[in-house]
Amino acid sequence: MDFLHREKNLCKVCRTRFNKHQELIQHAKKVHHQSIMKCHSCGMEFLHEEDRLHHVQQEKEKKIDIRRHR
Ligand SMILES: [Zn+2]
Ligand SMILES: [Zn+2]
């Protein structure tokens, strides 16, 4: 959804906006002590399980693409 995408780097707790996704993650961990989801293959961190699942899905698609081009 477009709405969700735009709200991606916004802290939902204190409404602070960040330029980078990782900055938001660091902020959420330090300031709000939120639990973080991690991608098991690349270690990228996410605030929500749905974000992680979306990322994992994209990684899978990329891997399939690489196989196709070989
Ligand atoms: Zn915050
Ligand atoms: Zn990953």
Contacts of 44 (CB under 8 A, 6+ apart): 38, 55
pTM above threshold 0.85: no
Residue extents of the structural domains in the chain: 2-69
> Which ligand is in closest contact with the Cα of 43?
2
69: pLDDT confidence band, cut at 50, 70 and 90? low
C-alpha of residue 24 to centroid of ligand 1, in Å:
8
Q: How far is CA 28 from CA 12, 39, 65, in A?
A: 9, 17, 33
Six-digit token string for 65? 């693409």
C-alpha of residue 53 to centroid of ligand 2, in Å:
9
pLDDT 10s digits, 4-60: 455 778 998 999 999 999 999 999 999 999 999 999 999 999 998 999 999 999 999
> Which ligand is in closest contact with the Cα of 13?
1
The phi and psi torsions of 12 (rounded to 5 degrees) equal -75, -15
Give the pLDDT confidence score for residue 18 in this predicted structure. Answer: 95
Fold classification of 2-69 (topology level): Double Stranded RNA Binding Domain (3.30.160)
